[in-house]
Structure 1
Amino acid sequence: MNLARMLKARADEGRPIRVGLIGAGKFGSMFLSQLRTTPGLHLLGIADLSVPRARAALEATGWDVAAAVAPSFAEALRTGRTVLTEDADALISADGLDVVVEVTGNPAAGAHHALKAIEHGRHIVMVTVEADVLVGPLLAERARKAGVVYSMAYGDQPALVCEMVDWARTCGFSVVAAGKGTKYLPSFHRSTPDTIWDLYGLTVEQAAQGGMNAQMFNSFADGTKSSIEMAAIANAAGLKAPSDGLLFPPCGVDDLATVLRPRERGGILEHSGTVETVSSLERDGRPVFRDLRWGVYVVFEADPSARGDYARRCFKEYGVVTDPSGRYTALYRPYHLIGLELGVSVASAALRGEPTGVTEAFNGDVVAVAKRPLKAGEMLDGEGGFTVWGKLFPAATSLAKGGLPIGLAHHVALKRDIPEGEIVGWADVEVKDSPTVRLRREMERTFGGGVSAAAE
């Protein structure tokens, strides 16, 4: 990719890329651990609601905190040190900043910080995929108009999948399916922060030692995070969302090309060119053989006409695992390294002016669904909580149903009873006006009628 060489050149010239990190949790800490050893990057500042937490993140990831921390941005710019602050807006507006890395996990905060970064001419690496799914098309459009990069975060599954989709298309293949693996059973949709560590095989103490947030990790188990990530991929890669949510089929890596092909060809997909998440568990709880729990994949096909015989023959000659017809095959990556890989996005944005995946359409949306029977007056507690989980739909379906985006299903009261498994709509809750609500409504008006042809 040549980025390492370009970073070294910047380091040799004394012109490092100056990075501002917003959010010092687990993902941010993983980035900090590698930023410290990457030539050509300068951590200008960390903004976190708790400065002691930001300091602890530096200490935990091997920084010499006493030597690294500067009292002001001017001093940090002059000496190559780092400011710790609770004021994210101050960090975004600091002189010399090149790239903002948004890692709060809060969709409202993520959208706000992205808009501030665009206003100040900073590139944005949006780790908070919740913000991207809620209002990403609008943020990406505004960034393009301002001449800055708005990018998915390399190391997180959506950006890695988008890279694989791009690879397949660049090679002249048609993309049939793309997505990731996870640990899933249908009962997990009812998982709560009180039950999550049992699903992960951890104690509360072990989770706390690892800095793991129960509600955030519950979002991975109850299906919400998979829905959000698949929506992000659909919106960035021009793929379809399933008509009634993800299927989570049990599937190992050797069976990707057989399972994830269209129904008329013997697979499970409604359409070719869709997103899907595969489970590492059989429905009876047994582990899937050669599962893809931590990885990502793309299923693609050779030209289905007789003209594709040569490519299909090459698949066989070079030991490529295919479906029985020899037409479909898959490429997969068994792991993703999350924040440890994030520097790729920072370098790509600053040195090439290119995102590692960017939202280009409104193909998929994620709406709130009741985890249990809910009563009028109850307060929804959002992604990974006790009340709702997020289900993926085509954006057109979500808009037609008036579904409440999961990113807005937090601290809002229900106006009526909602049965378990039913969609929660905008009309079912007391939604207060806010900049995020207005931004979402603007995004719906701007992109809701123009769902890309790939999603229709």
Structure 2
Amino acid sequence: TVWGHYGFSESQVAGGDFNPQMFNSFLDGTKSALEMAAVANACGLTPPRDGLAFPPCGVDDLPGILKPAADGGLLTERGTVEVVSSVERDGRPVFRDLRWGVYAVFEAPSPYVRDCFAQYGLKTDSSGRFAATYKPYHLIGLELGISVASIAVRGEATGATGEWRGDVAATAKRALRAGERLDGEGGFTVYGKLMPAAESLAQDALPIGLAHNMILKTDVPAGRAVRWSDVAYDAGQEAIRVRREMEDLFRGATGRPAG
């Protein structure tokens, strides 16, 4: 039933290369979690501890809502990532939504910068300290070619992981039973939940990117991260082996016992 949420007609779907599971991963929060984990890891930001909140927010309200709770906003801390919803909780469309765009909210580090916000006409919160910049469109496929050319011609990446700060755990969409097969991003069994990498390690969480065709050995309650101990897996598969080695490496770096 995913196509109705996008407004795609049956003829559109029949005439194109549409993958319903992929499009569903956009709606259940998995894609947003993966993208924000990448941003956190590239920019040194800390993901929210209990996943993305998706607050309804239009472009005019970005600096007032996406600031720390201590300053009157909704964020649990500074230096974090979040994704805004284009639909109010009661189903109404958000005024001046940013469904197709991207944004950043930032705080003035000094009175001079705060004054510049006002002088240059930036949209700010009531204090004038927090401002936002946004672009109404995100030209994904077109921008990709620029990134490839930048790497090939200049040897310059448009983004790179600096440290492991965010992870995306496979989380049960409903109560799962032993013997069920996980079907990955956008499927019926799990979605991807963003969390700090340290929390993912503490929970021994299975990453969403590897939650494909694994058979559950135990029941998993709805809303809980699936753990490595919950599933049967082939430790010799390259992707799994590299992931487990990475986990052990970071456990060692943080003083946690390798398991």
TM-score bracket, normalised by the shorter chain, equals over 0.9
State which of 268, 282, 287 in structure 1 corresponds to 2:93: 287
State the match for 2:167 in structure 1. 365
Partner Cα separation in structure 2 for residue 384 and residue 448 of structure 1: 30
Distance 2:252 2:104 in 1: 29
**1:426 to 1:205, Cα distance in 2 relative to 1, 3 A:** farther
Query: Structure 1 CA distance, aligned partners of 2:189 and 2:7?
Result: 23
What whole-Å deviation, never above 9, does each CA across 1:49-81 have from its counterpart, x for those lacking one? xxxxxxxxxxxxxxxxxxxxxxxxxxxxxxxxx
Unaligned runs of 5+ in 1: 1-194, 452-456
Hey, what's the Cα distance between the residues in 2 that align with 1:223 and 1:389?
Answer: 7
Q: Give identity over the alignment, percent.
A: 63
Count the aligned residue pairs: 253
Shift of 1:270: 1.0
Question: Which residue of structure 1 lines up, in the alignment, with residue 18 of structure 2?
Answer: 212
Listed as ranges, the matches of 1:67-78 within 5 Å are none
TM-score w.r.t. length of structure 2: 0.94
User: Residues of 2 paired with 1:444 and 1:283: CA distance?
Assistant: 37
In structure 1, the partner of 2:189 is 387
Match of 2:200 in 1: 398
Cα distance in 1 for partners of 2:35, 2:96 equals 22
RMSD: 1.3
Structure 2 match to 1:261: 67
Deviation readout 1:263-297 (Å, 9 max, x if unpaired):
00000111110010000000011010111111111
CA drift at 1:234: 0.5
Whether 1:339 aligns to 2:141 is yes
SS at match of 1:215: helix
Q: Pick the aligned partner of 1:228 from 13, 21, 34.
A: 34
Is this contact kept in 2: 1:361–1:447, CA < 8 A? no
The match for 1:430 is 232
Q: What is the CA-CA distance between 1:208 and the residue it aligns to? A: 3.2
- Distance in 2, matches of 1:214 and 1:207, equals 9
Structure 2, unpaired ranges of 5+: 255-259
Q: Distance in 2 between matches of 1:261 and 1:448?
A: 31
How far apart, in 1, do the equivalents of 2:40 and 2:205 lie?
A: 18
Match of 2:257 in 1: none
Q: Which residue of 2 aligns with 1:100?
A: none
CA-CA distance at 1:334 after TM superposition: 0.9
Q: Distance in 2 between matches of 1:244 and 1:236?
A: 20
Amino acid at match of 2:6: Y
Cα distance between partner residues in 2 of 1:388 and 1:309: 47
* Residue type of the alignment partner of 2:98: L
Displacement of 1:445 after TM fit?
A: 2.4
* Shift in alpha-carbon separation, 1:208–1:232, aligned structure 2, 3 A: farther
Distance in 1 of aligned mates of 2:82 and 2:120: 27
The answer to whether the 8 A contact 1:260-1:269 is kept is: yes
- Asked which structure has the greater CA Rg, the reply is 1
Would the alpha carbon gap of residues 204 and 425 (structure 1) be closer, same or farther in structure 2, given more than 3 Å must change? farther
For residue 449 of structure 1, report the CA deviation from its aligned partner.
Answer: 4.9
Per-residue CA distance 1:18-49 (angstroms, 9 max, x = gap)? xxxxxxxxxxxxxxxxxxxxxxxxxxxxxxxx
| Deviation of the 1:411 alpha carbon | 0.3
Spell out the pairing of 1:19-418 with structure 2 (5 A cutoff): 195-303=1-109, 308-418=110-220
Question: Structure 1 counterpart of 2:145, which letter?
Answer: G
Contact 1:249 1:279 (8 Å CA) reproduced = yes
Distance 1:354 1:447 in 2: 27
Q: Which has the higher contact order (CA 8 A, sep 6+)?
A: 2
Shift of 1:447: 3.5
> 1:448: Cα distance to partner?
4.5
Residue number among 235, 246, 255 corresponding to 1:443 in the alignment: 246
**3-state SS, counterpart of residue 195 of structure 2:** strand
